[in-house]
Chain A
Amino acid sequence: MAIFPFLVSGWILLVGVFGLVVSRDLIQAIGCLSVAQSSTYVLLLAIGYRRGATAPVYADLPVGSPVVDPVVQALALTDVVVGATVTALLLALVIQLRKRHGTVDPEQLTGLRG
């Protein structure tokens, strides 16, 4: 099926969001957010794929040979790094939550505390 790889990325997104919804632990929720985010890599790379083509690097490739779409690869690349640092920021937030409230269960976080 020609659109199967695209549907896989939608499925990964929904699995990630489902995890976010049922999660009782913020660390797990951040993991689920990363899973949901990784669906974009699959979608981008599936869109850029070209049958019979190779990596878009001409260092040892004759100019003119078919390559996969470099634009989506560049997008996926920056996405990975930015995703990693944003995950780190969220984890730092959870560490502070754990220190101030003594819990990482979002259901038990009721009041604001300085």
Chain B
Amino acid sequence: MSRTARLWLFGAAAVVIAACFAAACSGLPSFGTTTHPYGERAVAAALRQRTANAVSSVNFDLRAFDTLGEESILFASVLGATMLLRLARDERKNVPGPERVLPSTRLFGALLLPVTLLVGVYIVAHGQLSPGGGFQGGVVLATGLHLAYVAADYLVLKQVRPLEVLDIADALAAGAFTALGVAGLIVSGAFLHNFLPLGTFNQLSSGGLVPVINAAVGIEVGSGVIVLLAGFLDQAVEISEAGRGPAAPDAKDA
């Protein structure tokens, strides 16, 4: 299709989408309205399950089955990306050399690396109490680890990042979610049904199954993001086509 034809097609479709979308929006309850029947029921259910953070309760208790689906998408994309980024037959691995880093940067990284990892664990662990949870904490953990790359070099990052362990942890955490669901099925008769004691409201052990699923998601997101970034960093730092420099610009047949 030519460029102009495509633009015309987009223009026509955009007009239809815009008109239908605006018509649909005019039928919605107006912005900022005080009645949220579904939300109110979700909040009531979250409090009944003694989970202070209603968002976590929705994610890991009320709609945990949805989260399992999203979790599987996440796992599948990490798996797909690592498959795509693996070493091809006509590529080879370079050995990256040590880089020179300013001592102040190195000190900064060494001081902050434990702090960031601790913050990540804190956010995962308090998912059922305060804003946060497995998804956010996992990303903090994964990116925090890369301080080793920013403040030192690739060799240091490789030392602090046990990739084989993280690969397995990713898969195990994804499987643990399903296993917890099956455990609920066996103990309480419904998939992902809460079967743990609910605990005291606003305590670290509250919410029954929520903190456990939360931890599984935290491990999966954290290890998944590290594995993903490892794949991309490998492409940039280590892998090059055989007999060429790290960034061969021209096309090459497989």
Contact = CB atoms under 8 A, between A and B. Distances in A.
A85 B52 CA distance: 28
A95 B46 CA distance: 44
A58 B34 contact: no
Nearest to A76: B55
Contacts of A74: 55-56, 58-59, 63
A102 B14 CA distance: 33
Contacts, number: 178
Interface in B24-51: 25-26, 28, 30-34, 36, 38-39, 42-43, 46-47
A91 to B, nearest CB: 7
Interface stretch (B71-79, B100-108, B158-166, B188-196): B71-79
Interface of B is mostly: helix
16 contacts: A56-B43, A57-B130, A57-B131, A59-B202, A69-B39, A71-B39, A73-B58, A74-B56, A81-B74, A82-B70, A85-B73, A91-B81, A92-B231, A93-B84, A100-B251, A100-B253
Interface of B: 3, 6-7, 10, 14, 17-18, 21-22, 25-26, 28, 30-34, 36, 38-39, 42-43, 46-47, 52-59, 63, 66-67, 70, 73-74, 77-78, 80-81, 84-85, 88, 129-131, 133, 135-136, 139, 202, 221, 224-225, 228, 231-232, 235, 241, 249-254
